[in-house]
Structure 1
Amino acid sequence: MTDRLGPPATGLGGLITGAETIGRFMYAVAEHTWWFSPSMYLLCGLPLDTEITTNLMMSLKHPDDGPPATELLAKVAQTGEPFCCPHRIIDAAGREHSTVIFGDARPTARGAIDSIQGFAIDLTAGQQRYSLQIGAAAVRAATEHRSAIEQAKGALMLAYGLNPQAAFALLRWHSQRYNTKLNEIAESLVAVLQRTDRVLPGTRDAMDRLLQDLSVRGQHTGTTRPR
């Protein structure tokens, strides 16, 4: 039967949903033998009758995580300190699993470390969901920023008679001079313009004349459509 987590674990943010598969393990220090729960075998992609050895365990580590894992095992076997660390497992089929491993040690009556036991939580699916959420949020933010920047450029073009490139350069100059993000300046400018009823002298009259001229020109050229 596959082990599953109960309530979402604290400290792991939105990665834990309560449906993650976890594996249990135990290492007998003196005998150098390992015990795996069925779900730990599943996580590692191993048949249930596989004999687990330390060498096999280390072969399932991501190459970058192997040395730290060896050091951690030796340290816990000496000190008995509880541990918790991110860890990547490469299963027997070559698939990478992003996990977090935590546990503690059990001492003998004389104080020596008898065994190390713990859990491995597979966060791979959770990380993928989290990455998709972050990516979607970034796209939304970029779209919102781009909209504000375009509106701010339009306001500057109208106020100063600038072309789009010059309007953007003006926004960027203010951003660099005052060490403020360009999108924040643009969003603030748009917000102020939306809630103010002040219009630059002559701007409204000039805009009325421009719209009228464009409408008349479109009517003559057939580019406008009656409603």
Structure 2
Amino acid sequence: MTSVQPSGGSPLEGKVEQALDGGTRPPVGRYRLDLATGEWAWSDEVYLMHGFEPGEIVPTTPLMLSHKHPDDRGRVDGVLRRAAETGQTFSSVHRIRDAHGSTRTLAVTGQGRRDPATGRVTELIGYFIDVTDSHRAAAQRDATASIKASAEHRAVIEQAKGMLMAVYGVEELEAFELLREASNRTNIAVRDLADRLVELIAGPDVTVFPTREAIDAFLKDPEVPVDS
């Protein structure tokens, strides 16, 4: 990293370095905010995160906030104001729209530095960390898990419909309607009802195929134990 070098080590710096230790390290840049002037000093990495070439613009608080996502802007402004008042360590994750119009996700962490003579917080120092890729990866993992779970739910519903078609000699839509009606009557989700039905008919402990009367009883009240 270049350009901005807050003097001296700090607990914050140690925490950031520890958090980033190991694995693929996301882009990290330093900043310093002069609370008297509202001007920022950015390392080259922070310029690049915001879509600028290093030194291309003079970073100020209004400019920085203008790049925050509208839904996150008020929250970030509040975090900075509280930090300026208290000087306490802070952190926040928010979205920005860089100079090219792309949306990125940044984590900002920092702490106040006080004037030894007055005790007033005069500047904030800390880091911007570009976590866009890690957030995308997490979102992809969540989406994959959701798709997998949805596929599993559909599979068990299809299996249950097939069993009802065989038991009652009905078509696919009628079999699903039997499940849906039982779901509405018992307030049990269709997928959960289907899972229980499959377990009843073809579970690992089943040795005798349930009678039609047993299936009727199950659909009427799945909570009551069914005798085959």
Sort the TM-score into its range (normalised by shorter chain): 0.7 to 0.9
For residue 25 of structure 2, give the secondary structure of its aligned residue in structure 1. coil
Change in 2 beyond 3 A, CA 1:26/1:199:
same
Unaligned runs of 5+ in 1: 10-15, 203-227
Answer yes or no: is 1:146 the counterpart of 2:157.
Answer: no
Q: What's 1:178 paired with?
A: 186
Q: Is the 8 A contact 1:107 1:115 kept in 2?
A: yes
Change in 2 beyond 3 A, CA 1:32/1:151:
closer
Of all paired residues, the percent bearing the same amino acid is 33
Change in 2 beyond 3 A, CA 1:56/1:201:
closer
For residue 199 of structure 1, give the secondary structure of its aligned residue in structure 2. coil
Q: What's 2:65 paired with?
A: 58
For residue 20 of structure 1, give the secondary structure of its aligned residue in structure 2. coil
Q: What's 1:48 paired with?
A: 54
Instruction: Tell me how far apart the structure 2 counterparts of residues 51 and 200 of structure 1 sit (CA, whole Å).
Output: 77
Q: Is the 8 A contact 1:6 1:18 kept in 2?
A: no
Q: Is the 8 A contact 1:30 1:114 kept in 2?
A: yes
What amino acid does structure 2 have at the position aligned with 1:45?
G
Shift of 1:116: 0.7
Instruction: Tell me how far apart the structure 2 counterparts of residues 103 and 163 of structure 1 sit (CA, whole Å).
Output: 64
TM-score, normalised relative to structure 1: 0.74
Unaligned runs of 5+ in 2: 3-15, 213-228
Residue of 26, 33, 38 corresponding to 1:27: 33
The number of aligned residues is 194
What amino acid does structure 1 have at the position aligned with 2:26?
E
Shift of 1:19: 2.2
Higher-Rg member (1/2)? 1
RMSD: 2.6
Q: After the TM superposition, which residues 126-145 of structure 1 pair with which residues of structure 2 at under 5 Å, given as runs?
A: 126-145=134-153
Q: Is the 8 A contact 2:94 2:106 kept in 1?
A: yes
Change in 2 beyond 3 A, CA 1:150/1:18:
same
What amino acid does structure 2 have at the position aligned with 1:197?
T
Instruction: Tell me how far apart the structure 1 counterparts of residues 146 and 38 of structure 2 sit (CA, whole Å).
Output: 48
